[in-house]
Amino acid sequence: MTPGTEVTGDGLVVVVGLGLVGGSLARALVAAGTAVSGWDPDPATREAARAAGVRVLTSLDDLADARSPLVVVATPLRVVPQTARALSEVLGADAVVTDVGSVKGPVRDAMTAAGLDDRYVGAHPMAGTEHSGFIASTPDLLVGVRWAVTVHPSTSATAFLRVVDLVTRVLRGTVHPLTDSVHDEAAALVSHVPHVLATELLNVVAHSPIRDVALGLAAGSFRDGTRVARTDPRRTEAMVVENAPWVGAALRVVARDLEALADRLQDNAPVGEFFDRADAVRSGPAGAARTETVRTVRLDDDWQGALATKGAAGALVTSADPEHGTLLVIDPDG
């Protein structure tokens, strides 16, 4: 095993669900020399994972004999509740559970309903493609990317540190520590609503009487604008429905702005204000010129709220020290 790649505990990571993201995580851990096991309900997927070097479980019951595993739920959102119930029946008391879902509130609800809330840490890697399945997974998809890792009053410091250690040290990523609500609102804006808009653009062209001509003329802007709409529509539907309150609210703003633009175009009125409103972020990330301070943050009593506040203000976690209960944080408010 490569020195420095073991995950805190006995080093075992178990990935439940070996699709694009779960499969990419398992492949990355194999490449890093980290002990990883996986399970998927599809026999062909299990065989492909085994051929890629993943130790494949025969069933989730095998987890009953695993010592302090870090279990990553990477199943479709619609089956997270039943997966959580199945895990609650086999996991030992020292197991930690995380996930890679693009919505956090409903996943936490499912984990709480299954009695796993005190060992659950929500996580979401900000990476993906329009493809799906283990065949589309790669060992580098999740390496060096930013993750949202969520905190809640019930979050265990030990569990949180184990997840952050996996992300920052083994996968060489960084972490935005957020509440479930802040994550879900942000994900609606930068992921879920873009999926909806891309789908609608594809819908408009697909049902146009000049569809074939339009597609024949389509170039980079159409390709880039519809890329994510070419994924499995059921996957997109699930994440939008699970995050309905935030997605719905954002879509109402989008619909209002587009209606106003359409009215002004019809009236031959000026429309420059619509195209200029994004100038604050068009030239680069907001706050890029602010100073940054690197701090060591100890997870003492009531750490969850303080860390989530830092994360909402733009703080990034770059490493974890599970032995001493600390995080290394880049604080933009320094």
Identify which of 188, 165, 307 has the alpha carbon closest to the alpha carbon of residue 254. Answer: 188
Q: Give dist(CA 215, CA 205) in Å, integer.
A: 8
pTM over 0.75: yes
**Residue 177 banded pLDDT, cuts 50, 70, 90:** very high
Q: How confident is the model at residue 5 (pLDDT cuts 50, 70, 90)?
A: very low
Among 141, 142, 147, which residue's Cα sits nearest to residue 187? Answer: 147
> Which among 70, 75, 73, 84 has a CA at the least distance from the CA of 239?
75
Closest of 197, 219, 212, 17 to residue 100, by C-alpha: 17
For residue 98, the cross-strand partners are 72, 121
| End-to-end Cα separation, the chain, in angstroms | 38
Cα 299 from Cα 307, distance rounded (Å): 9
| Three-state DSSP class for residue 266 | helix
Please report the pLDDT score of residue 65 as a whole number: 83
Tens-place pLDDT, residues 109-125? 999 999 999 999 999 99
Domains, the chain, ordered by start: 13-178+291-331 (3.40.50.720), 184-277 (1.10.3660.10)
